[in-house]
Structure 1
Amino acid sequence: MKVSKEQAELNRIALLDAASRLYRRHGFDGVGVAQIAREAGLTHGSLYGHFESKDHYAAEACAHAFKKSLDLLKRFDDDGDQPLASFRRRYLSEAYRDDPGNGCTIAALAADAARKPGPVAETMTQGIESFIDAFTERLDGREHAMTTLSMMVGALILARASAQANASLSKELLDTVLGTLDEPGA
């Protein structure tokens, strides 16, 4: 039975949503095609008709996740007079730390992307650049944007890595970086 163009596009979006969530939760090599299709409520055969290769699919899933994160950042723009403050508080929270499947693509997948040349590494690089640009628009200069992004991502990665073994250290990492970034002039 042939699927309409509208349904095909809905299926594609469902696959990208599922893949971006599962990749961020388990890494690129921790998820199979069948698991992604099942999460999307589709058969794994449907995935092959939408994407050129597994690497291209992973790259598109990353791009999809980056777009959603940048859209979220834009929604925080109206929260007060300090750019990024609400976004930082959400990002550097225990709830965000504990939900990598719906969290930061950079924090979840940058190390994996560094070992995947080609479309995944290219998409990760473009996504990082997009966040630097978005932060630069909201802060005073590119260097400040790069420093802020690096501190946030680094704190989140370290907090996730230490959460199970030392929850207080994990929370301290988040709180310390948030406090530093919330200081006047930071």
Structure 2
Amino acid sequence: MGRVSQAQAEENRRRVVETASRLFREQGTHVSVADLMKASGLTHGGFYKQFASKEALIDEATTHAFDELTQLHEGGLERHAGRRDAARRELMDTYLSVEHRDGAADGCPVAALVTDMAREPGDREARRVYAEGVGDFAEWLASDGQDGIARLCTMVGALVLARATEGYPISEEILTGARAALSAVD
């Protein structure tokens, strides 16, 4: 088989990063390189032409996931004509929804990657990106007199618990209770 063009190689790399970002959020960073490449529609051998290691891919996929989160925040501001309170309210309601609970692959990297990042060494790029992303998200959630960290902890904690109890009535109760608690302080 011949060599791929530089443009095709860049497209393959983009596809692997996007696929890894989704799979890591859905299944965790323990997903094998072979499974990841298969999901990307590429061969296992092609991985090492694109990435120095799986850790390098985890770094890049984590960055990609947080870039998507930033785009989500910006999109909310656009939809609400720059009214941050309305965009924040929409985000909190969407975040604490059954659809988000059930859609980890396309969901928030803060909640989806929390246990994986807790196990990463502190000097890893993915861990740095994660910590900065958590801070940025908390800052985005803050408003006059309301702590963004407390909101973020409520949202992420509720989502993680709802995912862990999915299939049981308490799962939706957790989401409903968290939405009510956040509404009460707005």
TM-score, normalising length from structure 1? 0.88
Cα distance in 2 for partners of 1:25, 1:105 equals: 10
Distance 1:134 1:98, change over 3 A: same
CA shift for structure 1 position 69: 1.7
Cα distance in 1 for partners of 2:129, 2:49 equals: 21
Cα deviations across residues 103-142 of structure 1 (Å, max 9, x unaligned)? 1111111111111112332222122123223334xx237x
CA shift for structure 1 position 79: 4.2
Structure 2 counterpart of 1:148: 151
Contact 1:25/1:101 (<8 A) preserved: yes
CA shift for structure 1 position 18: 0.8
- Matching residue's letter, 1:37: M
| Residue 95 (1) aligns with residue 96 (2) | no
Cα distance in 2 for partners of 1:21, 1:156 equals: 17
- Matching residue's letter, 1:154: G
Q: Which segments of 5 or more consecutive residues in structure 2 lack a partner in the other structure?
A: none
Structure 2 counterpart of 1:9: 10
Structure 1 counterpart of 2:111: 107
Equivalent residue for 2:162, pick from 159, 171, 185: 159
Structure 2 counterpart of 1:126: 132
Cα distance in 2 for partners of 1:163, 1:22 equals: 19
| Residue 178 (1) aligns with residue 182 (2) | no
What is the identity percentage for the equivalent residue pairs of Structure 1 and Structure 2? 35
Cα distance in 1 for partners of 2:68, 2:79 equals: 18
Moved over 6 A (4+): none
Contact 2:63/2:126 (<8 A) preserved: no
TM-score, normalising length from structure 2? 0.88
Distance 1:100 1:38, change over 3 A: same
Cα distance in 1 for partners of 2:117, 2:182 equals: 27
Cα distance in 2 for partners of 1:68, 1:133 equals: 16
Cα distance in 1 for partners of 2:10, 2:160 equals: 34
Q: How does 1:48-67 map to 2 (within 5 A)?
A: 48-67=48-67
Contact 1:55/1:119 (<8 A) preserved: no
Cα distance in 1 for partners of 2:59, 2:94 equals: 26
CA shift for structure 1 position 4: 2.3
CA shift for structure 1 position 153: 0.5
Q: Which segments of 5 or more consecutive residues in structure 1 lack a partner in the other structure?
A: none
When the two structures are aligned, how many residues end up with a matched partner?
179
| Aligned-residue RMSD, C-alpha | 1.8
CA shift for structure 1 position 68: 0.9
Cα distance in 2 for partners of 1:40, 1:14 equals: 6
Q: Secondary structure at the match of 2:50?
A: coil
Cα distance in 2 for partners of 1:40, 1:100 equals: 18
Q: Secondary structure at the match of 1:68?
A: helix
Q: Secondary structure at the match of 1:3?
A: coil
